[in-house]
Structure 1
């Protein structure tokens, strides 16, 4: 994992990394969660459980790209990603994981 450009640590001890050449002028972030993990009750009450891990990993990527704590993001966007943000992201299911990779210009664009 030392060669990963960015990584995400899972609750079961695994780690997911993004391996690829850096893109000049862009930052990259990754977040992954186990699809079978239960949604914490407090978060389920606040955000619902529908497509939760996909929404969570996208929000986490934007937080990492914008260097904003998740609780600050929640207050501003919930688990959403602003349409006017300049981030590019893809979320996909890989085996038992939900993985989002996001890219943004070096100047954070998942604005709040």
Structure 2
């Protein structure tokens, strides 16, 4: 999985929702674009979240979490929420925008043009 994350920029596409309809998963942006994952998953669950680098941090969130590296922290937390099937507000109360130890997920946050994008993978559930 680390090699796949290392090549994440080759598996992410930016376009309209219609253009990215066949993505494994995608994230919708406030300007109408989407970012989609078009890579293998190796049986793992995958999540993508993206935000515009130049987007203003909402004042209430800036007051709560600060603005330093905000969108990178935000997209990581969003991906982990998606993989854990936990609402973002519940995540905030428990973890803020920090990645808690023991998540089991692997992720990479990168710049893609004018976007900050995180792609994260969680191992498949074990049979038990």
Q: Same fold (TM over 0.5)?
A: yes
**When the two structures are superposed, what TM-score results if normalisation uses the length of structure 1?**
0.91
Taking only aligned residues, the RMSD between alpha carbons, in angstroms, comes to: 0.8
Q: How far 1:83 moved relative to its partner?
A: 2.2
The question of 1:48 aligning with 2:48 is answered: no
Summarize deviations over 1:48-89 as a string: whole Å, max 9, x none: 000000000000000000000000000110001112210000
The question of 1:100 aligning with 2:118 is answered: yes
Give the 3-state SS of the residue equivalent to 2:48 in structure 1. strand
Give the 3-state SS of the residue equivalent to 1:50 in structure 2. coil
For 2:24, the equivalent position in structure 1 comes to 5
> What aligned pairs does 1:1-112 form with structure 2 within 5 A after superposition?
1-24=20-43, 26-107=44-125
- Structure label with greater radius of gyration: 2
Summarize deviations over 1:26-59 as a string: whole Å, max 9, x none: 1000000000000000000000000000000000
Moved over 2 A (4+): none
Listed as ranges, the gaps of 5+ residues in structure 1 are: 108-112
Q: How far 1:106 moved relative to its partner?
A: 2.6
Give the 3-state SS of the residue equivalent to 1:22 in structure 2. coil
Q: Structure 1 CA distance, aligned partners of 2:105 and 2:83?
A: 8
